[in-house]
Amino acid sequence: MIKLNNFILLILQIIFFSIIFNQVQSKNLEKYSSKNISAYFSGIVSLYDNEYMDSYKFLKKLNGLENKHYNYAQLYQYSLINLGKFQEAFKYAKKLENKGIENFENNLIIGVHYLKNKKYNLAKKYFKKIYKNKDISSLQVLISQSLFNWASYENIDSEEAKKMLNLIPPQYDSIKKIQNSFLHCYYSLEKTSKTFEQLLNNKKQNYARYSFFFANYLERNGKRNQANEVIAESLMLHPRNLMLNQMKNNFYQVKNKDRKNLFNCKNAGNVGAELLYIAANALSTQSIYSVSNFYINLAKYLNPNFASYNTLHAENFFMSGDYEKAKKMYIDIQEYGSAFKWYASKQIASILYNQNKKDNSYKFLQKIFKDIDHPSIYEIYDYAEFLKENEKFKESIKYYSDLMKLIKQNHPLYPKVTDSRGIAYERIGNWDEAEKDLIRSLSVKPNQPYVINYLAYSWIEKGIKINESLEMLKKANDLKANDGYIIDSLGWALFKLKKYKQSKKYLQQAVKIMPSDPVVNNHFGDSLWMNGKKIQARYYWKYVLNLKKTDDKLKSEIIEKLIFGPKSKT
C-alpha cells in the first residue's frame, strides 16, 4: 500500500506526466502507446512503494523517454541507486550528459563516483554544476556545496579550507560545526580535540553521534585511554547510543580490522558519506523514505564499511511498512556485534508482532535474551517492556523487579520502571501494588503527563479521589496539550463530579482528536445523554458497537445502555 504522503506525490507525478504527455507531437504518439503509459505509471507506483526492482524493470522499458519527459530520468536514477546499481547509474548519467540533459541527481551521482575514486577535480566540476543552479532546493545546495568543499581539500591548505567552509550559509550552523571538526581531523590540526569537545558540549543540539567520531579519531592517533573516556562520558548522558555501545564492546573484544564501523576522517569520501547520511536522516524524519533511501545508498557507496548506515536504511523500510525488506536488513545487522544484535533482534520481534505473528515474536526475542550471558540493565528493561507490550504481565513484573534491585531512585530508568511495573500490576488486578509504583514514579519525576493520567484515570474508574484526580489531570493537560487520552480523562473526571456541561466540552474535543477510539466515544455518548441529547447519545453508542477495537465487555455495557440508558449512579 502507498502511504498517504507518498500517494499525494504519486498523484502529482501522474498529473505532471499527463500534461507533458499531452504536449508530445502527434507524430510521436505511436511510440508512447497505452502499454508505455502503463509501464511508466507502474514504475512510479513501485518506486514510492519501495519496490525498486519492479520500478527499475518498468522504467527501463521506456529507454529514451528522458528526451521528452524530464522527470523520467530522475525516477529511473532513484530506482538504480536504491537497487545499488551504482555503475549502471553512473553510465546512465554520463549518457544523459552526452545528450545535454542535466538534473541534480545525474550531477550528484557522477560527482560522488569521482569522489569515491579520488578524482577530485572531476568531482568538483559536477558538484559545482549543482550549487550554481538556482532552481534547486536549499538541501541540495547544502549537499553539493559541502561535497564540493571536501573534493577541494586535497589541493589546498587548512586556512583556505576554513574560508570555504565559512561560505556555507549561517542557517546551517550545526552542519558547519560538524564539518569543522572533520576538517580539523582531516588536516591533523592541533585543535582537533578541542573542536570535537566544543561540538559535544553544545547545549542547543544533540551531537552525541559525533562522540563516536571523536573517539575514533583519538584511537587512530594512539590515544585509546582518552577514546575510552570520551565513550564513557557520552554513554553517561546517552546510554542507548548504539554506535558508542558497540564501540565500547569492540575495544576489548575484536581487532580493528574486524569492526563493521570503519571511518577515516582523512578520507574525503568517508566524510562525504556522513554528510549524505545527515541529509538522509533529515528526510527520514519527514517520512520521505524513498528520497532518504537514495541518499543513504549513496552514503553506503562512498563508505561501504560503515555499517551504521544500514540501521537508518532498515528503519526506513520498517517505518514505511515494508517489513520483509526491513527484516532482511536487520538479520544482517545482527552480525555487526552484540549491541547491534540486540537492537536488530528487537526490531525483528516488532516486525513479527506487526505481522500478527505474536507467538513467533515472543519466542524469538525470548531466545535472543536468554542467550545473553550478562544482560545490561537496559537490555533487561527492553525485554521487560517487550513482555508488557505482549501482555505477558506477570513475566514482565519479574524483570522489572530484578531491575529495581539494580538501580537507585536517582537512576534515569527508575521512574520508567516503576511506571511500567505499575501498569503491569494494574493489568493483572493488583491495584495496591500498581498504585504504589505509579506514586513512586511521580515522586521522583512529578511532571510525567501520561503517568499522571494513568493514575488519575484509574482512581476515577474506582470512584475514589476524584477531586484530586481532576486537579492532577488539569496539570497533565497543561504539560501535554491536545492529547486525546488526557482530555478524555479530564472530561470523565468532570462527568463523575456531575459537571455534565463542562464534561461534554472536553469529551467532544477528545472525540475530535480520537474519532475511532471506543472508550472516548462511549464517554462522549454518556455526556450527551446527561445533557439531554439522548438521540445523539444513542448514535455514538451504536457507532462504538461497530468499531473493531471495541471489546466484548464494552459492547455488553452499550447494549444495556441502548435499552435502559446509563445507570443513574455515576
Q: Reduced to 3 states, what is the DSSP secondary structure of residue 517?
A: coil
Return the beta strands (E) in 326-437 as ranges. none
Confidence category of residue 298, pLDDT binned at 50, 70, 90? very high
Cβ-based burial of 79 (10 A; exposed 0-12, middle 13-18, buried ≥19): buried
DSSP conformation class of 28: G
Confidence category of residue 32, pLDDT binned at 50, 70, 90? low
Distance CA(328)–CA(318), nearest Å, equals 11
Helices (H), ranges, 305-357: 309-319, 323-333, 338-354
Cβ-based burial of 96 (10 A; exposed 0-12, middle 13-18, buried ≥19): buried
- Is the pLDDT reported for residue 391 higher than 80? yes
Q: Looking at 18-22, 168-172, 378-382, 482-486, which range is the least confident one?
A: 18-22
Provide the total of helices (H) and of strands (E) in the chain, helices listed first: 31, 0
Confidence category of residue 480, pLDDT binned at 50, 70, 90? very high
Confidence category of residue 18, pLDDT binned at 50, 70, 90? very low
261 forms bridges with which residues in the sheet?
306
CB atoms within 10 A of CB 32: 16
Compute φ and ψ for 410, nearest 5 degrees. Answer: -85, 0
pLDDT tens by residue, 516-570: 999 999 999 999 999 999 999 999 999 999 999 999 999 999 999 999 888 754 4
CA torsion angle 135 138 139 142 (round to 10): 100
Please state the rounded mean pLDDT for residues 196-213. 93
pLDDT tens by residue, 302-335: 999 998 999 999 999 999 999 999 999 999 999 9
CA 311 vs CA 322, 421, 456: distances in Å: 14, 30, 39
How confident is the model at residue 566, as a pLDDT? Answer: 87
pLDDT tens by residue, 43-76: 888 888 889 999 999 999 888 888 877 788 889 9
CA 534 vs CA 208, 492, 498, 500: distances in Å: 57, 18, 17, 14
CB atoms within 10 A of CB 98: 8
Residue 91 in grid coordinates: 553510465
User: What's the pTM?
Assistant: 0.86
Core vs surface per residue 242-275: b (16+ CB within 10 A) or e = bbbbbbbebbeeeeeeebbbebbbebbbbbbbbb
Q: Which of 570, 2, 531 is nearest to 289 (CA)?
A: 2
148 and 124 Cβ atoms separated by less than 8 Å: yes
CB atoms within 10 A of CB 31: 12
Distance CA(250)–CA(466), nearest Å, equals 54
Please state the rounded mean pLDDT for residues 155-164. 96
Mean pLDDT score of the chain, rounded to an integer? 90
How confident is the model at residue 253, as a pLDDT? Answer: 58
Which is more confident, 52 or 8?
52
How confident is the model at residue 24, as a pLDDT? Answer: 39
How confident is the model at residue 568, as a pLDDT? Answer: 57
Residue 480 in grid coordinates: 501535554
